[in-house]
Structure 1
Amino acid sequence: MLIVTTVDELRRQTGVLMRERGGPVGLVPTMGALHEGHMSLVHRAGEECGVLVVSIFVNPTQFNEQSDLDNYPRTLEADAALCEANGVDIVFAPSPAEVYPQGFATGVHVSGLTDKWEGEFRPGHFDGVATVVAKLFGMVMPDRAYFGEKDFQQLAVVRRMTADLNLPVAVIGCPTVRESEGLAMSSRNSRLGTDDRTSALQISCALQAALVEGMTGNTDPSSLLSLSRDIMERDGILEIEYLAIVDPLTLEPREGELQDRDRIITAVRCGGVRLIDNMELRTQRALQETIPAGQATGTGK
C-alpha cells in the first residue's frame, strides 16, 4: 500500500495500478479516525473496483467552529495501518495547501438540500462538503465513490452535485454500520461516557420503533414521530435538534401518508456530543406487494 500526499504522485501511482490491473477506480473519502463503518465502505469498494483509494483529509471548510477543527482526531498512522490490513491500494493524505492552494477562490453550493436539517444547525457545512468532494473527484478521478448512509443528507447533497455538474462518478450509498447494541458507528462515540452511551442507545431504538410501526400499517408521519420522540425523551438526557420523516430525494418533510422508503432522520445532543442517525422506513402495503401470491394469505404451498 502507498501513502501519497500530492495530486501529481496520486495520479502517477493510480496510472501505474490501472495499467497493471485495469479499473474501475474506487474512492472512499474520509476525514480519518477510521472505524469499522469506514471499513464496510472499503470492503464494498474492494469487491467492485480494480484500484482502491482512501482519502484522509480533515477538511477545514466544513467546520463551523475552529475549536472543532483543532480538536478533530488526527490518527494517520493508525488509519493507514487499518487501510493496509483491509486491502487499500493508495491512501491519499493531502495537506490543506494541496487541496486549497493560495488564491483558491471557488466553492460549490447545492441549493435546496443544504438549507434544512444539518444545514440549519451547521450553516455553511455543506458548502464545504460539496466543495471538497468536487475537489477530490477532480484529483482522484474515480469511477465510483462510496459514502455511508449514516450521513444521509450529505449523501443526497453529493448525489445532487454530481448529477448537476455531470461528473462521471457513480455515487454509491452503503448501509449504516451499527455497534452491537444498535448505536450508529461514529468517531464521536468514543467521547460518550458510560451513562451517556446508554442514553444514546435510545436513538436507534426510537427510529426502529417507527420502522416497525410503519411496517405494521401505521402511515401517519406525525404518529410515528411522536412515538420516536417519546422514546428519545424518556429519561430527559437526549436533546433533540431535529426529528423528521422526509422524502429520500428532496429531504422535504413528508406530508400526508408515509411513502415506502421515506427516511426518518434525527440529530441529538447527548452529554455534549452531537450524534446523527437515520433509518429507511417501509410500508406494510409495499412489503405485502413483494410477497409471492398466496403466501400473504397463507395459501401458498
Structure 2
Amino acid sequence: MLARPRRSVLYMPGSNAKALAKAATLSADALILDLEDSVAPDQKVAARGQVAEAVRKGGFGGREIVIRVNGPHTPWGDEDLAAASAAGPDAILLPKVDGPGAIMAAARALREAGAPERTRIWAMMETPNAVLNAGSIASVAADSASRFTVMVMGLNDLAKETRARLTPGRPTMTAWLASCVVAARAHGVEILDGVFNDIKDLDGFHLECLQGRDMGLDGKTLIHPSQIDICNEVFAPAPAEVEGARAIIDAFALPENAGKGVIQLNGRMVELLHAEMARRTLAIADAIAALHMAAA
C-alpha cells in the first residue's frame, strides 16, 4: 500500500523570499507556496515568478510541494495556472472550488500547458456550494484525467460566507467537516483540516488537531512553523498503534489463519477490515520514516 504523509501542511506566502528559503529547513510534511490569500494584489506577479523559480530549483527534500493559484475569474488565475504547470510542483491547489467542473477545467489547462503527469490537483473546500457538492467534487477522482487527490478545508472562508462563527470546539463547523470527510472517503480522496488562527494558543491548537484526527481527517493545514511539531505528533500513528498493527498483520499471516475472515488476537475479535486498517497504519508509519530520512 502506497501512502504519503500529510500530517502538517504549511502555507508559505509566495511573496516572502525569506519564508521560501526557510521552507526547506522545516519539518512539515508538505508546503503550500501561496499566490492567493497571503499575497497583496500589487505583489501577485512578482510572487508568481518567485514561487515558480523556487519550485524549479527544488531542494525541499522529500516534502510535498504545492502551489496555490488564484482563481480563474481573477486577473491572475490563468497565468498562475500556466506558470505553476511549467514549474511542475507535486500539486496545484485550486481556490474556491464550487463543483466538479472547476477541477476538470483545471486538469485540461494543466494538460494543455504540458504539466508533468505527476502534478496532481488539490481543491479548497471553502464555499457553501463546495460543501453541498462535496460528493460530486470528490467523485471526479475516479477519472484519472482529473488528477484530483486532496480536499483542503477552508473554514475561515466558510465562516465568512455563511456568517457562522468559528468558536472553540467548532460546533458550527463539525457537520460540514464530517460531510466532506464522508465524501472524500467514498471516493478515495485525502482530506486536510483547516487552519487554526491563534498562533499563540498551542493548547487550543492541540485540541483542534485531536478533534480533526478523531473525525478522520488526514492532517491539518498550518499558518505558522510553531504548529508543525504538535501536528506531526497528533496525526502520526502512536508507537503502540504501530505495534498493534504489526501484530494484526502477523496474526492473519499465520498458516492456521489462512482464509479466515475473523480471528482472535489477545482476547479480541479481529476482522479483515482491521487488517486493512493496520496495513494503512504501517504504510503511513513507513512513509513518515522515509520522509525523515530524506529531510536529514
TM above 0.5: no
Which has the larger helix fraction?
2
TM-score w.r.t. length of structure 1: 0.29
Structure whose alpha-carbon radius of gyration is higher: 1
TM-score w.r.t. length of structure 2: 0.30
